Amino acid sequence: MAKAKQILVDTDILIKVFRGDAEKKKILDDNKGSLSISIITYLELLSGLKSRRRIIDLNKQMKAYNIIHLSEKISIKSLALYQKYLILNNISLPDALIASTAIINGMVLMTDNQKDFKFIKELSLFKS
């Protein structure tokens, strides 16, 4: 049996799950063991928290995901994407880093912000 494609989960999906989106939670549950997040996503989630208790809770929830840290290859790819898509498509720096993480690691990106990524031809987007 073929190994399931690894999925990089974008920040927007996790926020929806944390807010009670049962459909998104089911998709994540159905793909357990194949899920990763970029360290950028982890940092974005942390940036919205206002209490130590919520940070502790987030840290517990993040144990369910493989966290992919930035590497030299991801950095180089991010720079190329950022330079290519900054003017024409207004790509954000976090999105360039997240897209690069998926590309370099051969993963599909699960996001509801398809417009932020659809112009990156070498990036595979998750289809539910």
- Per residue in 1-51, pLDDT (tens digit) is 445 689 999 999 999 999 999 999 999 999 999 999 999 999 999 998 999
E strand map for the chain: 7-9, 35-38, 66-68, 108-110, 124-125
pLDDT of residue 5: 84
Residue 87's Cβ-side half-sphere holds a number of Cα atoms within 13 Å equal to 3
CATH code given to domain 7-69+106-125 = 3.40.50.1010
Q: Is 22 left (phi over 0), alpha (psi -120 to 50) or beta?
A: alpha
Q: Which sequence spans correspond to the domains of the chain?
A: 7-69+106-125
Global pTM?
0.93
90 Cβ neighbours under 8 A, 6+ residues apart = none
At 4 the pLDDT is 62
Q: Cα torsion at 57, 60, 62, 65 (round to 10°)?
A: -150
- C-alpha to C-alpha distances, 54 to 10, 35, 42, 45, 121, nearest whole angstrom: 20, 22, 13, 10, 37
